[in-house]
Amino acid sequence: MISVPSDTASQSGARNILVLVVYTAAIFTSALLLFSVQPLFTKMVLPRLGGSPAVWSVAMVFFQSLLLGGYAYAHYLMTLKSRTAPVVIHLVLLTAALLTLPLSIASGWGEPPASGYAFWLLGLFAVSIGLPFFALAANNPMLQAWFVRTGHPDGPDPYFLYASSNIGSFLALLSYPVLLEPMFSLRTQNLIWTSGYALLIVLIAACGVMLLRSPPMTVEAISVGEGDAPAPAWMMRLRWIFLAAVPSGLLIAVTAHISTDVAAAPLLWVLPLSLYLLTWVLVFQSRPLLPHRLMLMLQPFAIAGVMLLLVVGGEQNLLATLGGHLVCFFVIAMACHGELARTRPAARHLTGFYVALSFGGMVGGLFAGLIAPYTFSWIAEYPILLALAALCRPAGTSAVRGGFGLWLVAVVAGLVLIGLAYRQGSVTSFLEAKRIWMVAGFACVMMVLAVLWRIDRWSMAVLVVLGLILIRVYPADEGRVETVRSFFGVHKIVVTSNGRYHVLMHGTTIHGAERFLNDDGTPIKGRPEPITYYQDNGGIGRAIAAIRERKGGPIRVAVIGLGAGTLACQSKPGEEWKFFEIDQTMVDTARDPKYFTFVSACEPNMKPVIGDARLTFAKEKDGAYDLIIVDAYSSDAIPIHLATEEAMAIYKEKLAPQGAVLMHVSNRHLELASVVVGIAEENDLKSWVFNEDSGRDNEYIFTTEVVISAREEADVGKISSDEKWVLKEATEGQRVWTDDYSNVLGAVWRRLRTPDE
């Protein structure tokens, strides 16, 4: 037996520690940059498309697609026989990408087209940040493959480095809204990111040097402890793709659902994406904190939980419903990703495994982010992916007989429940009153039996499909609902159960409503009454009246944001009202008398300007308007670029000499009045704030918060002496929003501190 000198062993140990530290640092830094560039560049692009949350979904599709390209490139380089070539080629690519920095929107992509926003966005992302992101995307699998070839003792199972990568991604994602966005302008963030990219090149160069200085390793040496390590079969590769596609699509679907039907709140996309990344960290740990068997056992109950939540809806208890969706998504993703970790191949096939993962992620993203929005009028991809999640379970070998009988019983029970629900009588009344508990109990009993009987995954999927059909066809008690979907989101037109009101909603946020029936049930005739936020005695109605009185005649008005078209009925004969709207489906909805009659009754010849208002309104003639109404805000889609110092400067240019800007800032999640006051003061405008509780929510007349800004007090007429309007100055110490800086989290925090103000 040959003994190893202690000095040699000590040197080898120190080298192994250095290799591990440098490679871990490089992979961590790469992931940090990879996931911080996503919110950074997406924020740069958001103003081009009105702050639509769909921009984030399309961005995810782009990033997942380019991730596949990077992984395929890394896989190809690692098939080369030369060890030097991959290092040199990749460093050249990284350096070339560095020369394109700092990040910027490519020239020639200033204004989006009239349609095809998603594909336009994909092109914009590709030409603007395609090269640096592609180079970053290749780092994770390539550095792991290099690590294996350094001869490090942990080389035979390098997947723990994937956990390190996802920790970097996780931290980048959470730090952006909490630290980077509130503290730094976009330009400063860009420079910090560019510096980090340069540091990463140094770290990767160090990794390459360590690889080249390591003793050459044969395929047999790499495969130590792997046996023959045969190449994975194509069925296994397809299985990997499927296992990666389902949670990837589910990530986008659950984000769309909770931001549409649960709590339309800003920054909500951070929560499901953070949990998604956390699952990757947990399943690739050497000793997983959450056993895979436990996640597989809980997965059917998580699917049943989502089915229950789809019945309950989001308005009863927003936090509980939101938490329920996120917990269930986490369990389902853990089960899918746990299967990937369990079936991962030997180290010699590592890069091919990552190609399959990234391809699956791209497929899931394409389905949920691009195909579904143009195929379904509601978030149908969510239940579809729930059914597919049941197929992610491993093939059962000891299933108890009776799986077929179980879902056959489910069919019969479901039909009975539906049949009884549509009949008249006391049984129907009981089922309707206990609808949620009936469906919940039914789903839970079926899932408990499914787990106890260990039915195979196909029977489980059929059971889920039956439950989802039951939910879809079971009669709802909220009235008739129609959905309209576009790139900019899903809008619901709800006809209340008594038929009295038609309500336009995005998630739980009401964008407009119209009363169609009198108290005695007879149809309302004539000019419809503006309600919700636009009633005569509200802030918007009072402001319009004050400007009209101050001018002493017809006024010229520009309205940014159409909604249900309610403001059309605040116009008077002889006045010129021009509407600016980004979403054509909203124009079509507002014009359709079967939904709303404001436009057809009050402005039948309306010719709205379609496109992002920041771009289209800037083309208007200077000094053209007596009043500019900015009504483009909701609880989720925050078009920040319409509330910046530069945006207010454009509004001021378009105002007549004694004109005013009125901004509607009612919002459950953000305090925006102080933001508007600040940007107005920077443009030498005075501001008055109106915020009054109507106390008439049951009549669809709501509390309204608005800010009116003008050059002089005389320009706002009687508003300056009205006690309901408060003259405000900019908040000391609060940074003004500009095109280069905004702080959404700060606005959220201010609303939490002063919810009633």
What SS3 string covers 394-415? Answer: CCCCCCCCCHHHHHHHHHHHHH
Which contacts (CB < 8 Å, 24+ apart) does range 196-202 have? 196/29, 196/32, 196/33, 197/33, 197/97, 197/98, 197/101, 197/132, 198/98, 199/29, 200/26, 200/29, 200/30, 200/33, 200/94, 200/136, 200/139, 201/91, 201/94, 201/95, 201/98
pLDDT, average across residues 270-279: 85
Indicate if 573 and 610 belong to the same structural domain.
Answer: yes
Of the listed ranges 10-14, 473-477, 544-548, the least confidently predicted one is: 473-477
Q: For the segment 172-231, what is each residue's pLDDT rounded down to a tens digit?
A: 877 888 888 888 888 999 999 999 999 999 999 999 999 998 887 655 555 544 445 677
Indicate if 48 and 103 belong to the same structural domain.
Answer: yes
User: Are the beta carbons of 511 and 634 closer than 8 angstroms?
Assistant: yes
Has residue 640 been placed in a domain?
yes
Has residue 451 been placed in a domain?
yes
User: Are the beta carbons of 614 and 646 closer than 8 angstroms?
Assistant: no
pLDDT, the chain, mean? 83
Indicate if 348 and 413 belong to the same structural domain.
Answer: no
Contacts for 123 with CB less than 8 Å, ≥ 6 apart: 109
pLDDT, average across residues 634-647: 77
Q: For the segment 351-406, what is each residue's pLDDT rounded down to a tens digit?
A: 888 889 989 989 998 898 888 888 887 788 888 898 889 888 887 644 444 556 66
Indicate if 353 and 418 belong to the same structural domain.
Answer: no
Question: 3-class SS at 136?
Answer: helix
Give the per-residue pLDDT at 400.
Answer: 46
Has residue 532 been placed in a domain?
no
Indicate if 249 and 366 belong to the same structural domain.
Answer: yes
Q: Number of structural domains, the chain?
A: 5
pLDDT band at 711 (very low <50, low <70, confident <90, very high): very high
Indicate if 195 and 323 belong to the same structural domain.
Answer: no
Has residue 616 been placed in a domain?
yes
Has residue 366 been placed in a domain?
yes
Indicate if 242 and 166 belong to the same structural domain.
Answer: no
- Residue 602 pLDDT greater than 90, yes or no: yes
Final residue belonging to a domain, choices 358, 392, 426: 392
pTM of the model: 0.80
Final residue belonging to a domain, choices 473, 497, 528: 473
Indicate if 437 and 409 belong to the same structural domain.
Answer: yes
User: H/E element holding 140?
Assistant: helix 139-149
How far apart are the two ends of the chain, measured CA to CA in Å?
Answer: 81
Indicate if 333 and 372 belong to the same structural domain.
Answer: yes
pLDDT band at 81 (very low <50, low <70, confident <90, very high): confident
Rounded Cα–Cα distance for residues 503 and 489 (Å): 16
Has residue 495 been placed in a domain?
yes
Q: For the segment 495-524, what is each residue's pLDDT rounded down to a tens digit?
A: 887 788 999 987 667 888 999 988 888 888
Indicate if 158 and 209 belong to the same structural domain.
Answer: yes
Indicate if 605 and 649 belong to the same structural domain.
Answer: yes
CATH number of the domain that residue 252 is part of: 1.20.1250.20
CATH number of the domain that residue 591 is part of: 3.40.50.150
Domain that holds residue 283: 229-392
Contacts for 569 with CB less than 8 Å, ≥ 6 apart: 527, 528, 529, 530, 598, 601, 602
Has residue 564 been placed in a domain?
yes
CATH number of the domain that residue 212 is part of: 1.20.1250
Has residue 4 been placed in a domain?
no
- Residue 316 pLDDT greater than 60, yes or no: no
Give the per-residue pLDDT at 285.
Answer: 76
Indicate if 259 and 205 belong to the same structural domain.
Answer: no
Tokens of 460: 């489980």
